[in-house]
Structure 1
Amino acid sequence: MKLSIDHSSPIPLHVQAEELLRSLISTAEYRDGKLLPNEIELSKKLAISRATLRQALNKLVYEGLLVRKKGVGTKVASAQSISSKSKNWLSFSQEMEARGIPIRNFELHISWVFPDQKVANFFEMKSERKVLKLVRLRGRPEGPFVYFESYFHPRIGLTGDEDFKRPLYEMLEKEHNTVAYVSKEEISAILADDFIAQKLETEKGSAILFRKRFVYDVAERPIEYNLGYYKADSFVYTVESRRE
């Protein structure tokens, strides 16, 4: 894999370094436990400071994707459970791929809809204008554990003909020059209604983790309104807080 970043890009260097590292650790070579190049070597190859590189590395360590051992080096963390951490704006596919968890799409539907008032308000647009809606039912090969509904701002330029089986944010960046830069989330516990219970193959009234995700681009303009319904016995959400 070629290790380089674009110094002429408006995307901050630490963000580019972070994305490069995410791609690097998703390869079979590094998932198998090989140590990453050391910081001095990698920062020279990328022509960035060690402080900038460390900012990217620290984010992945914080998310649980990398493990750093003093005197040994940094390598990919072993995947023991399905989890997600706050301050992580990766797409679901990228999260699971980074952990080596095989994911299957049980359903994938695309449509153009008039947004409800909540979605319209988030996008700061009138509800009379249609937006692209993406519905996905996803999980391990043995069964689904999450149902997603995503709505996208028309500004992105999605047509509906894109390959939505690809990692979402990777596709948005490469095909539509839209970088998912900030994610703000709301987490709550709800009980499965008939619809969600049927989708997730669980009992009506069973515990569901409900996550709203609001995604913004580098200019902090809204790009995605996402609703996720997770089977509570199949997903762990980790939050880490630090006192300033």
Structure 2
Amino acid sequence: MTFTIDHKSPIPLHVQTEELLRKLIKQPQYQKGKHLPNEIELAQKLNISRGTLRQAINKLVYEGLLVRKKGFGTKVNNIVSSKAVSWLSFSQEMAVRGIPIEDFETKISWAKPEEVVSNFFDIRGNRKVLKLEKLRGRPEGPFVYFVSYFHPRIGLTGEEDFTRPLYDILEQDYHVVADLSKEEISAKGADKFLAGKLKLDLGSPILLRKRFVFDQAERPIEYNLGYYKADSFVYTIESRRDQ
């Protein structure tokens, strides 16, 4: 395969790079588990910056097409996954089900993000991001613990009234429309912290729901983690078979 980027094209470099990577990973050797060329080598071949390349790779990582492991490299993700055709906020989901929701705890802070969050937002250095933690559930008790990180570009201050629906705040106060959500769901055992929050025995089953939220320009705006009691969460997937 020829590695070429048209630097005179009106199409942004990161978009061209993303499409090239989509074609590259369909080749048999990468489908069989071969790692992609390292970022330095690939960026040099394409005559682009590592930042541009990383932006394209990050997009495919969060679509679940690629998996990246520090010290080993990037390769095709061969784990089968499914995604829903539409999405709702947590408050909307619960309203549809007719479930009354209470906020048991709300904590707002500024935190230096972990590497996975920094990579998603594509921010570097010691820049802090707004972190929102919420313990939510039915009136009789909590069943989900949320942790959200927000891109500094939005302009959130931490003084917002987070009893309001989150995406209403973003849209009405900051003109940021949450347009696209990509999700991952996995299982884990409750550690001491989560067991305490959700009133579970240590090691009890937890469903971890990761949500990656983008605006209308497909720029990342929120990295969300939801830890659910396993018996409280059902994920319904609707899909159509390609003809």
2:236 to 225, 235, 238: 238
For structure 2, the residue ranges without an aligned partner over 5 or more in a row are: 1-82
1:112 to 110, 113, 132: 110
For structure 1, the residue ranges without an aligned partner over 5 or more in a row are: 1-84
Is 1:201 the counterpart of 2:206? The answer is no
In structure 2, the CA distance between the partners of 1:164 and 1:199, relative to structure 1 (3 Å rule), is same
- RMSD of the alignment, in Å? 1.2
* CA displacement 1:106-159 (0-9 Å, x = unmatched): 100000011111100000111411100000000000000000000000111101
CA shift, 1:95, in A, is 1.7
What's the TM-score once normalised by structure 1's chain length? 0.63
Could you tell me whether the CA contact under 8 Å between 1:87 and 1:183 is conserved in 2?
A: no
CA distance in 1, matches of 2:228, 2:154: 27
Aligned residue identity for 1:138: R
Could you tell me whether the CA contact under 8 Å between 1:92 and 1:167 is conserved in 2?
A: no
2:159 to 151, 158, 161: 161
Could you tell me whether the CA contact under 8 Å between 2:85 and 2:238 is conserved in 1?
A: no
1:149 to 147, 150, 156: 147
Structure with the larger RCO, 1 or 2 (CA within 8 Å, 6+ apart): 1
Q: Which moved more, 1:158-167 or 1:87-96?
A: 87-96
Aligned residue identity for 1:155: R
Q: Secondary structure at the match of 2:93?
A: helix
Q: Which moved more, 1:94-103 or 1:134-143?
A: 94-103
Q: Secondary structure at the match of 1:115?
A: coil
The aligned residue for residue 137 of structure 2 is 139
Could you tell me whether the CA contact under 8 Å between 1:110 and 1:135 is conserved in 2?
A: yes
Q: Larger radius of gyration, structure 1 or 2?
A: 2
The aligned residue for residue 21 of structure 1 is none
Q: Which 4+ stretches in 1 moved above 4 angstroms?
A: none
The aligned residue for residue 176 of structure 1 is 174
CA distance in 2, matches of 1:209, 1:167: 23
Quote the sequence identity (%): 69
1:1-244 equivalences under 5 Å are 86-244=84-242
CA shift, 1:238, in A, is 1.3
